[in-house]
Amino acid sequence: MKSITCLGISTAVCCAVWSFLSPEVGLLSWAGFAGCTSYFACPDHGWKGVKSAFFCVMSGIVYALLTLYLNKVFPSFAVSLVVALVTVHLMCIQSKIPILAYIPGTFFGSFSTFAAGGDLIIIPCMILGIILGLCCDKGGAWLFKLVGKKEDVELEEAES
C-alpha cells in the first residue's frame, strides 16, 4: 500500500470521528476542519507544523477579534475599511517573525473567526483541528509502516 493511501485512510477515519464527536460536545466541526487544513497546508509537519500553525492561526483569531471589536465601537464604513487595511497589512508584515511566518495560517484563523461571528468557541475548535491534522498525519505514517512494503517504507524514511 502506498503512503498516500495510508494517509487517506487515516485522514478519513480521524475526520469521521471528529465529524461525529465535535457537534456532540458543542464544537463547530467545520472550524476543526479549517484547523486541520491549516496544519496540512503548513510547510512544516509534525510538532514543528503544529507549533507554526498554532501561533499563526491564533494571531489570525486575534486580528479578527480586534477588527470585529473596532467595527462595533466605530460603526462606520470608513473606519471598517481602515481597520481592514491595517490588520491585513500587519498580518503580512508578521511574516518577518519566524514563528509567525506561515501567513496562510493567519488567514485561516482570521476568516474562521469571521465565519463564527466572533464566537470564542473558534479557539478550541481550531486548536483541536490542528491536533486533528497531526493525528491524520501520524496515523497515516503509522499505517504505512504497518502495511507498506518494506522497500517503500525504507525509501520514505530515507527521503524524510
> Which of 46-60, 67-81, 101-115 shows the lowest mean pLDDT across its residues?
67-81
Whether pLDDT at 156 is above 90: no
Residues 43-53, mean pLDDT to the nearest whole number:
94
Single out the residue of 55, 54, 59 nearest to residue 132, CA to CA: 54
First to last CA, the chain: 18
Whether pLDDT at 16 is above 90: yes
Q: What are phi and psi of 141, to 5 degrees?
A: -65, -40
Please tell me the predicted confidence (pLDDT) of residue 86.
92
The pLDDT confidence band at residue 74, using thresholds 50, 70 and 90, is confident
Of 113 and 1, the structure prediction assigns the larger pLDDT to 113
Whether pLDDT at 151 is above 70: no
Please tell me the predicted confidence (pLDDT) of residue 96.
94
Instruction: Output the average pLDDT for the chain.
Output: 91
Single out the residue of 1, 2, 12 nearest to residue 139, CA to CA: 12
Whether pLDDT at 94 is above 80: yes
Please tell me the predicted confidence (pLDDT) of residue 3.
85
Residue the block writes with cell 490542528: 130
Q: How far apart are CA 36 and CA 29, in angstroms?
A: 11
Q: In percent, how much of the chain has pLDDT > 90? A: 75
Whether pLDDT at 137 is above 70: yes
